[in-house]
Structure 1
Amino acid sequence: MSRPPDCLRLFLAGDVMLGRGIDQIQAQSCDPQLFERFVPSAQDYVTLAERTSGEIPRGVGPDYVWGDLLEDLEARTVDLRLVNLETTITSDGENDPRKGIHYRMHPANVALLTAAKVDAVTLANNHMLDWGRGGLAETLATLDRAGIARAGAGWDEAEAFAPLRMPLAGGGRFVVFSVALGDSGVPASWAATPDQPGVACAEPRDVAARLTAQLSEIRQPGDIVAVSIHWGENWGYRVAPAHRALAEAVVGQGVDLIFGHSAHHPRAAAVMRGRLLLYGAGDLVNDYEGIGGQEDFRPELVLGYVADFRRDGGALVALEMLPYRLHRFRLERADREARDWLAGRMDREARAFGGRVRATAQDTLRFEWDEP
């Protein structure tokens, strides 16, 4: 995708889960013990994947999991890279007994994020306190030491809800709010309070009101504003009316990008008032290979998003979707059959919101919409 002039180019990816099996194939890893009902060890997820896909190397380098993605991003000259990190970074902490699934990766494996040149992560999601507030504290400290910006969790409520403000070359800022809704499975007790660490968790009405108040205080000329929202269930394409209403409300307040995630597969992309809405970016990386039961969604097929926004107003100029297959815990470029399946499914969902998705001669997907 050629780069338009006077644009900010972002790479966006939904849930990045680098724990459990993926953590176990790194040079350093956490204690593999799990507290899941049917799987007692993180090593079992490696075994499951190998039964499906063949042998997975051990002691891999930090670039292994990203596979073909790294070359594809270098070719596109991306300004900033933003992902939703759905993994606690800790080798300590105590698992939350109210949760059935607990994700964590060893602090040494923050190198995976730096290998992908991730500039910032959003943390408001339903796995950030899987290993308690001690695990969250180590996550925050590890990201800070690595120089990776963050939003959506913090040492108290003010920090958790505070927007990330990233200066842009030539002036202006990329401003990112990160929040989770309760319907994504975030326990109410995880919410940050004035005197307790936690995640930025709120219900739709409160999110809209809080954003309105914060934007009026912090927005400056030249800012491009994004809201990352962890919302909804893990499977299914339906966009809840409450989610659509929230998107409309925050776009009406001047937000330029709705970056939604939670479902394990991509959902509809849309444009509203010239602004990009990703109702569900889907997973980018996980260790679910070999786990059956949701084959209709093709969960092994994932997307990364390269989006261009006008620097003088934040309107969407172009959106390219990069299709990959997760194979042996590694991102591989999708073959023609997989690309065409993703194009058809994403086109179907986009048309419900007035958009279209086309396969390109470069084996990527292009999102199209009608200008107002």
Structure 2
Amino acid sequence: MDAPLKLFLCGDVMTGRGVDQILPHPTDPTLHEDFVRSAHGYVDLAEQRSGPIPRPAPFDYIWGDALAALTDRAPALRIANLETALTARGHPEPKGINYRMHPENATCLSAAGLDCCVLANNHVLDWGAQGLGDTLATLKGLGIACCGAGANEGAAAAPAILSAGQDRRILVFSYACPSSGVPRHWAAGPERAGVNLLASLQRAQVDRVASWIARWRQPGDSVVLSLHWGPNWGHDIPAAHREFACELIERGAADLVHGHSSHHPLGLECHEGKLILYGCGDFINDYEGIGGHTDYRPELVLGYLAELDPTHRRLETLEMLPFRTRRFRLQHATGEEASWLAGTLNRNLPVQDQRVLLSEENSLRLSF
């Protein structure tokens, strides 16, 4: 019998601004924000809170303890939402917050062994079409697949097609919703670069997404549907999100729903044997020294390891790895921190008979 398919997924990976400044090839630190005018300011805030950060830091520095944890568990594929333009060019979009990382610092993504970066989000065009073009070229040069943004609407909507060995294909489809802050004019057009925008979650859009997936899917393929949706803060899962995800699973279109945009982990569920992550939370960012939203404990993050049955692509196990950010680096969470994450998730699970359990190894598991 074939071994289960093990996937690693995480939410937002924001390697711009302060993170970019500690790596060997930082971009111009000038920012266009109302209160912070230099990306060095975010490094200073983090150092004031947690202590000195090495500069220049090696490319694998930011991943910290997560690297050994992933090596031990050996997922077949690693998928993340890249919420940063990889460019030193372009012009900042007039939106207040603009993330970018120098392309020569993008080695930090391959240092984590990422196989696929989903790009349908509200920051990939922060530096315009030129910045998006540089992002696509940089990822291609690193051998990292991407989806969700492109030179036109066909390229933006096309899935990343990944090989998981033994003739297995994983198709990753990436969509962004306006509710996550994506400007509607960022939508890719027939001759316009942009993101794969999902204008609404109404029934017509369910039909459209299911039909599009069916055009690409071959027998035996597994489908990951990656969605950038909803606000940054708040534990409520909108009914429209749940209905959309569940219907695409019920129709056999998606085998795993990978939701993100929230800055903290949201509830999750196993629906008809398939995993729905409504909001993975941030994984890498430079928010360490920023005040506010302390009730959400945004310094605590989760990485998700899902094992799928290779025949029916049903969820067999879900392990969640808890980390905390300190000095722009992921460290293993303490027992108290992991317990807090489990309790918070359990208070916000949409299915009453499913629970998040804390293991003796200090990781979290979904009981379903």
TM-score by length of 1: 0.96
- Mapped to 2, the partners of 1:132 and 1:246 lie a distance apart of 30
1:209 correspondence with 2:207: yes
1:80 counterpart (72, 77, 96): 77
Question: Aligned AA for 2:142?
Answer: A
Counterparts of 1:272-291 in structure 2, within 5 Å, are: 272-291=271-290
Contact 1:224 1:313 survives alignment (8 Å):
no
Question: Aligned AA for 2:256?
Answer: L
Question: Aligned AA for 1:182?
Answer: P
Contact 2:13 2:80 survives alignment (8 Å):
yes
Bigger shift: residues 325-334 or 162-171: 162-171
Contact 1:172 1:221 survives alignment (8 Å):
no
Question: Aligned AA for 1:73?
Answer: L
Q: Any idea what SS the aligned residue of 1:193 has? A: coil
Question: Aligned AA for 1:240?
Answer: P
1:47 correspondence with 2:44: yes
- Mapped to 2, the partners of 1:102 and 1:353 lie a distance apart of 40
1:184 correspondence with 2:180: yes
- Measured after TM superposition, the shift of residue 13 of structure 1 is 0.4
Contact 2:357 2:365 survives alignment (8 Å):
yes
- Measured after TM superposition, the shift of residue 219 of structure 1 is 1.6
TM-score by length of 2: 0.97
What residue in structure 2 maps to residue 297 of structure 1?
A: 296
List alignment gaps of at least 5 residues for structure 1.
Answer: none
Q: Percent identity?
A: 48
Question: Aligned AA for 1:336?
Answer: G
What are the Cα deviations for residues 198-220 of structure 1, in whole angstroms up to 9, with x where unaligned? 00012223542222212322221
- Measured after TM superposition, the shift of residue 104 of structure 1 is 0.4
Contact 1:256 1:276 survives alignment (8 Å):
yes
What are the Cα deviations for residues 96-115 of structure 1, in whole angstroms up to 9, with x where unaligned? 01x11000000011101100
Q: Any idea what SS the aligned residue of 1:325 has? A: strand
What residue in structure 1 maps to residue 238 of structure 2?
A: 240
- Mapped to 2, the partners of 1:65 and 1:352 lie a distance apart of 35
- Measured after TM superposition, the shift of residue 344 of structure 1 is 0.9
- Measured after TM superposition, the shift of residue 353 of structure 1 is 5.2
- Mapped to 2, the partners of 1:238 and 1:192 lie a distance apart of 30
Counterparts of 1:129-208 in structure 2, within 5 Å, are: 129-202=125-198, 203-205=200-202, 207-208=205-206
Query: Aligned pair count?
Result: 365
Q: Any idea what SS the aligned residue of 1:96 has? A: coil
What are the Cα deviations for residues 105-128 of structure 1, in whole angstroms up to 9, with x where unaligned? 000111011000000010000001
Contact 1:270 1:353 survives alignment (8 Å):
no
Q: Any idea what SS the aligned residue of 2:276 has? A: strand
Bigger shift: residues 239-248 or 163-172: 163-172
Q: Any idea what SS the aligned residue of 1:174 has? A: strand
Bigger shift: residues 203-212 or 223-232: 203-212
- Mapped to 2, the partners of 1:315 and 1:145 lie a distance apart of 34
Q: Any idea what SS the aligned residue of 2:162 has? A: strand
- Mapped to 2, the partners of 1:35 and 1:56 lie a distance apart of 24
Counterparts of 1:222-237 in structure 2, within 5 Å, are: 222-237=220-235
Q: Any idea what SS the aligned residue of 2:343 has? A: helix
- Mapped to 2, the partners of 1:149 and 1:158 lie a distance apart of 16
Contact 1:172 1:220 survives alignment (8 Å):
no
What are the Cα deviations for residues 75-96 of structure 1, in whole angstroms up to 9, with x where unaligned? 0011000000000000111000
- Mapped to 2, the partners of 1:353 and 1:84 lie a distance apart of 29
What are the Cα deviations for residues 303-322 of structure 1, in whole angstroms up to 9, with x where unaligned? 00011001111100000000
What residue in structure 1 maps to residue 54 of structure 2?
A: 57
- Measured after TM superposition, the shift of residue 168 of structure 1 is 2.7
What residue in structure 2 maps to residue 316 of structure 1?
A: 315
- Mapped to 2, the partners of 1:176 and 1:234 lie a distance apart of 23
- Measured after TM superposition, the shift of residue 5 of structure 1 is 5.9
- Mapped to 2, the partners of 1:108 and 1:34 lie a distance apart of 20
- Mapped to 2, the partners of 1:253 and 1:165 lie a distance apart of 21
Counterparts of 1:246-285 in structure 2, within 5 Å, are: 246-254=244-252, 255-285=254-284
Q: Any idea what SS the aligned residue of 1:179 has? A: strand
Counterparts of 1:348-363 in structure 2, within 5 Å, are: 348-350=347-349, 352=351, 354-363=353-362
Counterparts of 1:11-22 in structure 2, within 5 Å, are: 11-22=8-19
- Mapped to 2, the partners of 1:91 and 1:185 lie a distance apart of 23
Question: Aligned AA for 1:63?
Answer: D
Q: Any idea what SS the aligned residue of 1:270 has? A: strand
Contact 2:77 2:164 survives alignment (8 Å):
no
- Measured after TM superposition, the shift of residue 284 of structure 1 is 0.3
What residue in structure 2 maps to residue 334 of structure 1?
A: 333
- Mapped to 1, the partners of 2:267 and 2:110 lie a distance apart of 29
Question: Aligned AA for 1:7?
Answer: P
Question: Aligned AA for 1:111?
Answer: T
Contact 1:88 1:105 survives alignment (8 Å):
yes
Question: Aligned Cα RMSD in Å?
Answer: 1.2
